[in-house]
Chains A and B, each alone.
Chain A
Amino acid sequence: MFKSFSVKLLLAGAVIGFFIAFLMKLGNPVNMGVCAVCFLRDTSGALKIHTVGALSYFRPEIIGFILGSFFAALIFKEFKSKAGSAPALRFFISFFVAVGALVFLGCPFRMMARIAAGDPTALFGLLGLIAGVYTGVIFLQKGFSLGRSYNINNFSKWIAPGMATMFFIFLIVKPEFIPAYPASGYAPLWISLLAGLIMGFIGLRTRVCTVGGFRDIFIMKDLHLFSGIIGILFFAFVFNLIFGQFNFGDSPGVHSDNLWNFLGLYVVGFGSCLIGGCPFRQMILAGSGNSDSTVSVLGMIVGGGLSHNFMMVSASNATISAKYGVVFAIALFFAIAIFSVKKIKY
């Protein structure tokens, strides 16, 4: 009944799962290791979009995701300028994907990292993600589309790699206008960067996507991308055991407001379906020259920053503004989805 289980994707997931555990071992935040949205939020702090000192750092992993994808795209001749599919909608959908992720406290990568470290609250996030993806699939099957993008053959493909390079220069040169705060926890810079580059390279070559994994099961019973999810979960768990980081029942650094854990990742699953991929996948597409995904990445950087400014980030429990933010995001996504249906005739 189910088809296309992929060893290639399983191995790609294994590499990501390994880095989740390994980078945690080397100093990245506990019960996290790797998180696309949290690291974009840290980047946002380094850009002074928010002012939480401990969460301000040009995360080398982010630079690596984008540049790793860029190098893979160059080598395999996929580095192309594409743009034109509802950029403003993509910006705000991504903005609220970041809000949702920071209410749960993590993107799908970190949700898996949390499960693989024994954190039971993350299971509510997993259920929320699946429910969100399912909602997105309902609209996709009704003909939802944000419209076509086009090969535009201009300079725009260089924006995301250029931006990542600029972050790298700031990280190394440390100009005085950039806050010199330490991050909450971080692995050695060059190891983080190398890990990011490898994950970015693999990301483009295998198209690994945490939201796509569930989505393709709902749409066509296809296990191809889901194989990657299995790889991430299983190998993050195995390496957490090896490194002594598996603590069943422990939830360090997160909250157990489980309705909002569920709804936070519901927003991420639903929104990611509307923009065609999870937060990590958006960075990979951005690195390969896709301007629509570059706009998504910018939306998540701004959304991550404003989540802190508006106190929507939920450290010990879901804040009032977090609840308003999540409910608004769900209403906004339904409105966008309903009004963008039937663009595509099947």
Chain B
Amino acid sequence: MPRPTRQPDLIQGTLDAMVLRTLGRAPNHGYGIARAIEAASDGRLTIEEGSLYPALHRLERRGDLSSEWRMTELNRRAKYYALTPRGRKRLVAEIEEWADVSRAVSRVLGLSPAGVAAAGGGG
């Protein structure tokens, strides 16, 4: 089993940003979002999968996401989330904020921007 048993804690804002970024590509259900985040981070970031749902419900309540129940390819009902225009603005703000924080942390750690880009793997 290649997955780590201890999953790194993710701060709420970071999780929100990753969810918004994933849904910025295409609407998806919770399971699909979890797999997309895992794949995009090359398996480095795995989240406690259930913790994704309170974040999805919170973002939906705030109007950043909309949702609808659809049938999947396996002929099973799933709740699909999509980014709203408000959520798209929020995604831009979150990315800018993360870039600021990332740059500040990199400076403190003495990493070059190239090093950060290499470590972060782009976006």
Q: Tell me whether A and B are bound partners.
A: no
